[in-house]
Amino acid sequence: MAGEIGVAGAARIAVIGGGPGGLYAAALLKRLDPGREITVWERNAPDDTFGFGVVLSDETLGGIEHADRVYEALRRDFVRWDDIDIVHRGRTLTSGGHGFAALGRRRLLEILHERCASLGVRLRFREPAPPAAELAASYDLVIAADGVHSDTRESHREAFRPQLTTHRCRYIWLAADFALDAFRFEIAETEHGVVQLHGYPYAGDASTVIVEMREEVWRAAGLDRCDERASSEWCARVFANALGGRPLRSNKSSWIAFRTVVNERWSHGRIVLLGDAAHTAHFSIGSGTKLAVEDALALAACLEEQGPLPEALAAYEAERRPVVASTQRAARASLTWFEDLATYAGQPPHQFAFNLLTRSRRVTHDNLRLRDGEFVASVAKEAGIPSGTPPMFTPFRLGGLTLRNRVVVSPMDMYSADGDGTPGDFHLVHLGARALGGAGLVMTEMVCVSPEGRITPGCTGLYAPSHETAWRRITDFVHTTAPGTALGVQLGHSGRKGSTRLMWDGIDQPLPEGNWPLLAPSALPYRPGVNQVPHALTEPELATVREQFVRAAESAARAGFDLLELHCAHGYLLSGFLSPLTNQRTDAYGGDLTARLRFPLEVFDAVRAVWPAGRPMTVRISATDWADGGTTAEDAVAIAAAFAAHGADAIDVSTGQVVPDERPEFGRSYQTPFADRIRNTVGVPVIAVGAISSWDDVNSLVLAGRADLCALARPHLYDPHWTLHAAAEQGYSGPGAPWPPPYQAGSRTPPTGRTDAPKPRLTLR
């Protein structure tokens, strides 16, 4: 074989795996070039398949319709419906306008078999494929579509570098011999724990039924000891009402723990991964077959459009990877929601249903309102939200403080103080503008409790009389000019992350000169060899730091702040005590989580004692370190519970920035599941943060009961009047977002230039 071939030279193609993705790729590639020799190996018989029904989205169907006439054959067999039924505690709530299409998996394979055969694709059933490396020696391209347990991927682990994550629920694929009326989610609260049913019709006389539960529930019910028949009978008994007493049938069905597959690379030489071999996404968003078919479409298009094979395979991965990553984030949010389903079981019926429908963050408040406005209105009515009021503009009470809406301007370090930590005109304008912009609560940046507690020379402080005077000027401006806006102060100490340059001069880089000594729980530098080694605090020094927080809190109260937040996140001093990666003490302040909590709780108690009783106090935490061996989501729940028990009015739930080698799972609203879990497990109000970028996100999180307040940072840098503009865009003009009198003339969206072209005066047919 030649060392490098053009796509036109890819005359011989081998496909490992005869699932929908592999078959569709073969059909498309053969149709694009009838001269190609394409062979598909499938170890099973033609009619031997797992599962029952397959759901495809309108987007996927549109791609098939434009690419190949197999769509016509599929269309004749589709079962379509619009409704989702949610059954919980004896009530069925229905939401419409969702638009699903499904057909039997066996029928889908039959259609694809017929299409491949008609095009001249060679199908080799009941025959395991030769190893991919062996095929690559004689074929121009090897497409590995051999599923979640891909032998190809495992044989070339060093090239693809897969990451496999097994999750906490067990599920089983079953079928019922009648058609459900809608996509059905039913929740059963058994003596062993919560069990859920996911069901949908895929033919006029058949439905897929997936039963899922946490691993511990599965074992407690004895299902780990049941065979296929006994498992089917158990599920039929639990969901007898949904099934009308009918039985469930199986098809080599077994209890499975879902596995998420991520690969660092999707191709290796002439070998390329497709579908579940490359990536998986939880079945609760109906994505497996969809992703595989879309992969096939993209691979065929890139092979047609690009030059040499390496370029085509790189283009395929570049096109698909962001789409798959987005789908996997949504799927992860969905599967986590179902793993934690028991925490939501006590929600009011309509809120529970709304929470379920918006669990993946792909369906949102506004999107669902367009699909089924009556349903969303019923959710709002149950929550006591006045008609015409977006959820984000409802008031919320924290301690003795009532916030007029749910929007928080998140703390953002500005690095713009005078050299001695005094806030100046910049801070007056920065915070004043955002207070005038309509948010219910505006937070300062982290205000440092001592000179050595600063991150940079540009950080503000509250450790000198001049600081208190300067802050009082800002609070007076806000309270006078933007009445109804609350102003909060975040107190913190940089710990081992201090004595660094301004962010734009080199984030986390030490000062070229004038460095001050650092303090931390343990003598561990933030970046070994880059940042200085901090001094491990002694017990007398801990008392000094605690007193610095107390004095700063007393000063903040005199300065007129409405709320105080204790910064225990992002690797700063108090956060450093909480994480096992940064706290390696062997005294009473290190060791297990209870010991690591000791000093942050001592500081909290001391500050709470001097902070005015009527003013709320919150705590910001990092709910995960995004690093092996660090703080986990389970730890975060315990940390939040401890602070709540000591009197915290709310927990501000952020993540990460504790260690430099973190691996965050970035994405829209990516940190909100941690806040959600704390709120619905501990029962304490939470502030959610983390790439919340739209008012639709805020409405969705609040109405679903996943967050009480939403803190936004970058959107408020882009638009200081973000909250007022959100009100205008939603047609809201109530008390939750009053425009300052000087700005009222701008409370309607300005007209734009004409963008529509003149209509033709004459049309010839």
Residues assigned a catalytic role: 572
Euclidean distance between CA atoms 574 and 634, whole angstroms: 19
The values of phi and psi at residue 408, to 5°, are -120, 130
Phi, psi (degrees; rounded to nearest 5) at 228: -60, -45
- Single-letter amino acid code for the residue at 128: P
The SS3 call for residue 746 is helix
- Give, for 213, the enclosing helix (H) or strand (E): strand 206-214
For residue 277, the SS3 value is: helix
10 Å CB burial of residue 735 (0-12, 13-18, 19+) is: exposed
Angle at alpha carbon of residue 164, lines to 162 and 167, rounded to 5° = 165
- What angle (nearest 5°) sits at the alpha carbon of residue 384, between those of residues 379 and 388? 75
Rounded to 5 degrees, φ, ψ at 758 are -60, 140
**267 contacts: CB under 8 Å, gap ≥ 6:** 273, 310, 313, 314, 316, 317
**Burial of residue 68, with CB atoms counted within 10 A of its CB: 0-12 exposed, 13-18 middle, 19 or more buried:** buried
> Cα–Cα distance between 62 and 53 in angstroms, integer?
19
Asked if 470 and 424 touch (Cβ cutoff 8 Å), the reply is yes
Please state, in angstroms and rounded to a whole number, the distance separating the CA atoms of residues 56 and 103: 9
d(CA 446, CA 375): 42
Strands 193-203 and 183-190: antiparallel
Nearest Cα residue to 283 out of 260, 263, 266: 260
Buried b / exposed e over 123-142, threshold 16 CB at 10 Å, is beeeeebbebeebbeebbbb
Exposure string of 504-534, with b = 16+ CB inside 10 Å and e = fewer, is eeeebebbeeeebebbbbbebbbeeeebbeb
Query: With contact defined as beta carbons under 8 Å apart, do 174 and 248 qualify?
Result: yes
Residues in contact with 275: Cβ distance below 8 Å, sequence separation at least 6, in sequence order: 17, 19, 20, 21, 22, 145, 147, 288, 291, 292, 295, 296
**Closest CA relative to residue 51, chosen from 254, 269, 333, 204:** 254
Q: Using only C-alpha atoms, what is the Rg of the chain? A: 29
In the block, residue with structure tokens 């999180």: 701
Q: Name the amino acid, one letter, at 190.
A: T
Could you tell me which of 274, 309, 269 has the C-alpha nearest to residue 8?
309
Distances (CA, A) of 47 to 33, 43, 56: 28, 12, 20
In this structure, are strands 396-398 and 141-144 parallel, antiparallel, or unpaired?
unpaired
List beta partners, residue 229: none
The Cα-based distances of 420 to 424, 472, 602 in angstroms read 11, 17, 28
Separation of alpha carbons 184 and 205, rounded Å: 16
